[in-house]
Amino acid sequence: MINPQRIQLLNNNPVLGEHQFVLYWMQASQRVTENPALYFAIEQANQLKKPLVVFFGVTADFPEATRRHYQFMLEGLLEIKNQLKQRGIRFVLGTQGPVAGVSQLLGQVAVLVTDCAYSRVERLWRKQVAQLAPCSVIQVEGNVVVPVGVASQKEEYSAATLRRKIEPMISYFGQEVGEIDCVISSHDIETGIEEASLDSIERLLDNLSLVQTPSALLKGGEHIAHDALDRFIDQHLCNYAKEHNNPANPAISQLSAYLHFGQISPVEIYNRIAPINLPDVPVYLEQLIVRRELACNYVLFNPNYDKYEGLPAWALKTLTGHAFDEREYLYSYTDLETAQTHDPYWNAAQQELVGTGFMHGYMRMYWGKKILEWSPSSKIAFETALHLNNTYQLDGRDPNGFAGVAWCFGKHDRPWANRAIFGNVRYMNAKGLERKFDIKEYVKRVESLIKSKS
């Protein structure tokens, strides 16, 4: 059963009963398990006694998407295709781009169901599809525990302000949808559009002319996401509160890229973790729900979420006040990208990012703070950090990435004691890393991770 507050009509058009099939335009929830949009589309198809077709439109133009992102995504889509086939549902992959691909199908679609995303481009695609479609277009929000617009109707100031609102709603919205089967198979449907083959992911990637980045350490797909969740629960959850911030010996889930591509449902993770009787559970759920959904709130309600101007007024003011402070170290974008700084800890973090596609969360904070300290201006620093983050993190281009980079510049934080360059924005230094953990062990860990890859 889908909570009705997850469902939104995107236009006022009718169901076109004479048309051939129900379409699920999959975009943000790239999974078969625990996917409310897929569940809703199957329900619609069964009620209308029609087959269901699932379409995914790949575009090489997605802002800042690179080869490593698409490799991970296509690995997941191949698994989806095979799983849907077993359930009698035809999966169509197009490389015309999502809106162009969906438009080519519209003449056959009785009802169009889609999932929900928050970034500017993803919202624009949905708006365009809803305007173009002669049939009813319905969005089902499945990548958060509490629907973002239900949790709050405005941009929240901090985790504390959102937490008060969201916590009482978590168990109500934390209900899983489960699975239903399609009554009518869509195997034999001819869509008439040009389809891309997933037989060779490498060949498809070559044809997409993407910005080249080395492949990441993690592989994409629902099965691998579930294995990672099992491993986290068995081996690391019991140390999460104590060790999740320790980059030398991390007790983390590494689910962020799977969550970013919608390859695993946060509701499913919540239901696996919440019943476990460990003091680490609320600490983990704070990250998975409060922090993650605070980032979605930021992206949905702040029109400048990806710009320096999106920072809070106090942070902009204090950074401007320190614009002319002397910088002891100044690095160019290329110095930073190639990890050529004087700081071995920062360089290790950057090497982890470029070499593996994942940087430990605590190092992400240090990494962003140092980019602010070593750049000619705070605006250049913001743009550098966001671009490196979005290009190289496998989980980049996500609300968490926009909010995470903005946090390094004061977003969702409070003013701290005044100091050079940072003004009242929170400062971090290498001594803090040395005091808190065996940071040299982190540097060694990164070296061996990168060696294991080659």
Site for ligand FAD in 262-291 (CB under 6 A): 287-288, 291
H or E element, residue 110: strand 109-115
Q: Tell me the closest approach of the beta carbon of residue 129 to ligand FAD, in angstroms.
A: 26
CB closer to ligand FAD, 310 vs 401: 401
Residue 396 within binding range of ligand FAD, rule CB under 6 A = yes
Question: Looking at 30, 44, 186, 393, which residue binds ligand FAD (CB under 6 A)?
Answer: 393
Which structure tokens are listed for 131? 């305007």
Question: Looking at 98, 404, 410, 423, which residue binds ligand FAD (CB under 6 A)?
Answer: 404
Q: Which amino acid is at 180?
A: I
Residue 369 within binding range of ligand FAD, rule CB under 6 A = no
Question: Looking at 260, 370, 379, 411, which residue binds ligand FAD (CB under 6 A)?
Answer: 260
Nearest Cα to Cα of residue 193 among 113, 103, 115: 103
199 burial class (0-12, 13-18, 19+ CB within 10 angstroms)? exposed
CB closer to ligand FAD, 77 vs 288: 288
Residue 156 within binding range of ligand FAD, rule CB under 6 A = no
CB closer to ligand FAD, 253 vs 384: 253
Residue 298 within binding range of ligand FAD, rule CB under 6 A = no
At which residue do the structure tokens 């969740």 appear?
229
Where does this chain touch ligand FAD (CB under 6 A) — which range of 252-260, 324-332, 375-383, 416-424?
252-260
Is residue 22 within 8 A of residue 45, CB to CB? The reply is yes
Q: Tell me the closest approach of the beta carbon of residue 427 to ligand FAD, in angstroms.
A: 14
The rounded distance, in Å, linking the Cα atoms of 362 and 366 is 7
Q: Tell me the closest approach of the beta carbon of residue 404 to ligand FAD, in angstroms.
A: 3
Is residue 111 within 8 A of residue 48, CB to CB? The reply is yes
Question: Looking at 59, 114, 191, 253, which residue binds ligand FAD (CB under 6 A)?
Answer: 253
Where does this chain touch ligand FAD (CB under 6 A) — which range of 183-191, 192-200, 208-216, 256-264?
256-264
Q: Tell me the closest approach of the beta carbon of residue 82 to ligand FAD, in angstroms.
A: 25
Which structure tokens are listed for 449? 């991770």
Question: Looking at 53, 400, 413, 425, which residue binds ligand FAD (CB under 6 A)?
Answer: 400
The rounded distance, in Å, linking the Cα atoms of 365 and 316 is 19
51 burial class (0-12, 13-18, 19+ CB within 10 angstroms)? buried
Question: Looking at 6, 19, 126, 364, which residue binds ligand FAD (CB under 6 A)?
Answer: 364
Residue 407 within binding range of ligand FAD, rule CB under 6 A = yes
Residue 405 within binding range of ligand FAD, rule CB under 6 A = yes
Question: Looking at 52, 105, 162, 259, which residue binds ligand FAD (CB under 6 A)?
Answer: 259
Give φ, ψ of 288 to 5 degrees: -65, -35
Residue 445 within binding range of ligand FAD, rule CB under 6 A = no
DSSP for 23-68, please give it: EEE-SS---STT-HHHHHHHHHHHHHT--EEEEEE--TTSTT-BHH
CB closer to ligand FAD, 101 vs 142: 142
What is the chain's alpha carbon radius of gyration, rounded to the nearest angstrom?
Answer: 22
Where does this chain touch ligand FAD (CB under 6 A) — which range of 28-36, 147-155, 296-304, 357-365?
357-365
Nearest Cα to Cα of residue 2 among 173, 183, 165, 182: 173
Edge-to-edge strand ranges of the sheet holding 52-57: 7-9, 136-140, 109-115, 21-25, 52-57, 90-94
DSSP for 352-370, please give it: HHHHHS---HHHHHHHHHH
Which structure tokens are listed for 237? 């959850």
Which residues are near ligand FAD by CB under 6 A? Answer: 244, 252-256, 259-260, 287-288, 291-292, 295, 361, 364-365, 368, 389, 393, 395-396, 398, 400-401, 404-405, 407-408
